[in-house]
Amino acid sequence: MYEYRQLVKIGDNSEILSVFINADMIGKTWIFRYLCEFKKYDIVENYLNNYYDSIDIHKDNEELFIDMCSIGDIQIIKLLYEYSKLNNNLINYHVLHDRAFECSCNNGHVNVAKLIYSYSIEDNTCIDIHYYNEYIFRMSVFGNNVEIIKLIFDIANTYNSPIDIHAEEDASLKYALTERKIEIVKILYKYSQDIKNPIEINNIMNTYKLRYPFIIDIVKQLETQFNNIDNNLEDNLEDNLEDIVTNNDPNDMTHVLILDMFNYIQYYNDRPTIGDEGYFIKLCIEGQNNAMRRSLNYYERHNNITTIMSVIHKCIEIAQHVNNIELLQLLNEFNSKYNYNPSR
């Protein structure tokens, strides 16, 4: 159907209409689909008004409607739904386990998700928000979409059918914590309290243990603070970390490293790019030895060694502390090659 796509893309309206009228139903349906894709709203409405019976808008399990929800074209979505309603041939937005709603959420189109939800209210039907073990909710957390998460919670409250925020072994909470999505952590925690299915400190412990094994002792010291988690979580966590660093032996690298990691993560979340230092610290913390090797080779090939040598020493300290022998050997060899001394 490439020729139809090209026609709609570059042809004028009279040429498109001429081909459309002479095409069979399959051809008309494809032409109409491309008119929607290229956002030719006036023509789309004209064809719906005058040629509705010649177009199969429901083709392949409402594929057109679902695709428009995926890209967030709310104007086309409204036209398709309104004309299907006028012609007593209503769009089935519940098809494939509410795929239209799922796609709008997964792509962050909160207004489209709200619109589909409003259709379900009109029809006195329910959207399957719990499908596949809270898949829509989990994907919204992984996509860092706060508005979608709030919408899903609101819908769940309306249905009196709470979201299981512990689904898939607390996958959502673990993601939010390890990626330092503080606002999402707050939302999840508050919701867990509201539905009387609270987040336990052990979940937080397990999260840090999985990704940052060398800070378990630090997290244990924060246990009481996490038990009293509130809207000032981010400030409390930063203050607690700084207190721990201040109140412990300044020569104990554990506390220095945890603060370095916290500062790196803050930098990572607040900036569009993390910069050389933040990037290399990230590789060390996560134990990405192969990525470190490739990155060092890249900087070496492009003669940018001086921009990273100052952070190599810090990376060596991290590798020593977490006992990453392979990484330590790689960094020491690189450091010796260029004979860098941070005390100079």
- Look at 4 and 262; give whichever has higher pLDDT: 4
Q: How many CB atoms lie within 10 A of CB 113?
A: 29
Residue 302 has phi, psi (to 5 degrees) of -100, 15
Q: 154-172, pLDDT tens digit by residue? A: 999 999 999 999 898 888 8
At 291, list the tokens.
């990525």
The gap from C-alpha 110 to its chain's centroid, in whole angstroms, comes to 14
Name the percent of the chain lying above pLDDT 90.
47
Q: Name 21's Cβ contacts closer than 8 Å, sequence gap at least 6.
A: none
- Spatial contact of 51 and 66, defined as CB atoms under 8 Å apart: no
- Nearest residue to 134 via CA among 105, 109, 107, 113: 105
Q: Is the dihedral of CA 184, 185, 186, 189 positive or negative?
A: positive
pLDDT (mean) for 316-341: 81
Residue 21 has phi, psi (to 5 degrees) of -65, -35
DSSP 274-338: -HHHHHHHHHHHHT-HHHHHHHHHHHHHTT-GGGTHHHHHHHHHHHHHTT-HHHHHHHHHHHHHH
* Distance of alpha carbon 49 from alpha carbon 277, whole angstroms: 60
* Distance of alpha carbon 286 from alpha carbon 281, whole angstroms: 9
Q: Name 79's Cβ contacts closer than 8 Å, sequence gap at least 6.
A: 41, 44, 45, 48
pLDDT (mean) for 106-120: 95
Residue 207 has phi, psi (to 5 degrees) of -60, -50
Which range, of 74-78, 153-157, 187-191, 231-235, averages the lowest pLDDT? 231-235
- Nearest residue to 322 via CA among 283, 293, 294: 283
pLDDT (mean) for 126-155: 94
Q: 4-62, pLDDT tens digit by residue? A: 999 999 999 999 999 999 999 999 999 999 999 999 999 999 999 999 999 999 999 99
The torsion region of residue 75 among left (phi > 0), alpha (psi -120 to 50) and beta comes to alpha
At 199, list the tokens.
């987040």
Identify the burial level of 339 via C-beta atoms within 10 angstroms of its C-beta, where 0-12 means exposed, 13-18 middle and 19 or more buried: exposed
Alpha carbons within 13 angstroms on the beta-carbon side of residue 282 total 17
- Nearest residue to 152 via CA among 253, 141, 21, 305: 141
- Nearest residue to 255 via CA among 215, 304, 312: 215
What average pLDDT does the structure give for the chain?
Answer: 78
- Look at 225 and 292; give whichever has higher pLDDT: 292
